[in-house]
Structure 1
Amino acid sequence: MDLRHEWEAACVQTDGLMVKLEVTEGYTDPDRRYRHHLTALNELYRPADAYERHASALAWRYASAAAVLGMAVMDRLIGDRPPLAPELVEEMATHEPTLGTLKESCDAPYERLIAARADDHYGTEAKARENLLGLLGAAEYNVEHTDIGGRRLNPAEIEACQLSVVSPDDQDPFWDNLLKPMLSLAESVPYAIARWLDRQDA
């Protein structure tokens, strides 16, 4: 939640600066000598934009890790399997999952979570899952069609890649459209686990 708030605040700041830049560019004559107003705004925008991307990358890393960890815990509870080892919990909570792991977690485990909830009367969670899988597919397509290190990744490398590692610095990150739904999922899974435990009198 802290990372989400910082990222959203950074977005507000960069969006406001971008509007000011566009307005300033609109009335600044490109042939005029005095362009200090535009220069100053650009100097302010660049670090703000870099901070927004950094906050976005951190939010993505921890949200995707939390979602995968939450799904793993929920899946073990539903399947009545032993808990995860503390070392594995630490590893999963602090490292961004691979694209393949994300797809797997948002497929069958997510489907089982929805089935276990028994309160998705309007199909909201089912639609969220379908949307998330679609966005993951779009991210996979973008990775597949981008030169990374001077070449295209093969299918096995794409499955094993982390989106924050393979996203080029000079374009929108591959996780851009995924961040909000992944944050929502990461925030909702602990509540789903609590509801399930309550129904089981656990």
Structure 2
Amino acid sequence: MRFPQFDELDTLTTYEHQALRSLNAAFLAARYEWQTAYTLWDRLSNTSSAVQLTTATTPFPFRKNAVDEIVGGVTAYERHAALTAWRYTSAALVLGVAVLQRIAKEEPPLTAAVVEELCQEPTLGRLHKALAVPVADLVPARMPDSTSTERDATALRWARVRDGVDYAMEVVLEIAANEDADYPRTKAEAATCLLTRHCPPHTDPVYEGLLKALFRLTEAVPFDISWIRVKR
């Protein structure tokens, strides 16, 4: 999947369409860059482990030093690419869900100000709220004979990502507590946080186990919007 062809915008405004398409292109670019960086990091990390075994007794560990230096740079870049991907992917999902929901309910178009606001990285709380929208009930079944099964599978996918965001808020709280930070101190405060600002490089990634699943949901939303319009 990439992005659907909207031949006639009708209920989808030009501004909404342009914003959705731009965020889609941004998150896909960041996604592929992160996947490449992760593959490189994984390969070099394994190489580093192997080199440590073969150079443990030599007085000239230059190969190990060289690999370790490269791994350090790749690690930093992989984290940077992941956080960039998170920023655009989460924004694309929140905007997409807002557009999907208002089209499904036949509500007025989003204003330019609202569209621009939703194009920014959402707080964890806003993302969690978007994931709680009953998309499975708003999107018509693609296969009439399996309506219930399809709806249940979609609802489960969204619930799992929503639970992942809830857990991410817990991790943000844990990091703050470990570093004796003044903020956030409560779950409500964690919900107001941007993940990219609470994922320090010396900790495990807050998005670990969540980013790939978020990619899949986000890429599907524009197609869900298109399908709602087709079935009208």
Does TM, normalized by the shorter one, top 0.5?
Answer: yes
SS of structure 1 residue aligned to 2:86: helix
Match of 2:114 among 88, 107, 117: 88
Pair 1:101-2:123 in alignment? no
Structure 2 counterpart of 1:64: 90
- Cα deviation, residue 3, structure 1: 1.3
Pair 1:46-2:60 in alignment? no
Does the 8 A contact of 2:104 with 2:139 survive in 1? no
Within 5 A, what are the aligned runs for 1:20-169?
Answer: 20-29=47-56, 32-93=58-119, 95-107=120-132, 109=133, 111=134, 113-119=135-141, 121-122=149-150, 123-147=152-176, 150-151=180-181, 153-169=185-201
Match of 1:173 among 205, 217, 228: 205
SS of structure 1 residue aligned to 2:176: coil
Does the 8 A contact of 1:106 with 1:133 survive in 2? yes
TM-score, normalised by the number of residues in structure 1? 0.90
- Cα deviation, residue 87, structure 1: 3.0
**How many residues are matched?**
195
Cα distance per residue 1:157-201 (max 9 Å; x no partner): 21111111112220122122221111111110000000000111x
- Cα deviation, residue 49, structure 1: 1.1
Does the 8 A contact of 1:164 with 1:173 survive in 2? no
- Cα deviation, residue 71, structure 1: 0.5
Structure 2 counterpart of 1:182: 214
TM-score, normalised by the number of residues in structure 2? 0.79
Cα distance per residue 1:143-170 (max 9 Å; x no partner): 2222266235223321111111112220
User: Which residue identity does 2:96 align to in structure 1?
Assistant: G
Q: 145-154 or 131-140, which moves further after superposition?
A: 145-154
Ranges in structure 1 where 5+ consecutive residues have no aligned partner: none
User: Which residue identity does 1:166 align to in structure 2?
Assistant: H
Structure 1 counterpart of 2:38: 11
Distance 1:57 1:146 in 2: 17
Distance 1:44 1:4 in 2: 22
Ranges in structure 2 where 5+ consecutive residues have no aligned partner: 1-27, 142-146
Q: 96-105 or 141-150, which moves further after superposition?
A: 141-150
- Cα deviation, residue 103, structure 1: 1.0
User: Which residue identity does 2:217 align to in structure 1?
Assistant: L
SS of structure 2 residue aligned to 1:160: coil
- Cα deviation, residue 140, structure 1: 1.6
Task: Give the CA RMSD over aligned residues.
Answer: 1.6
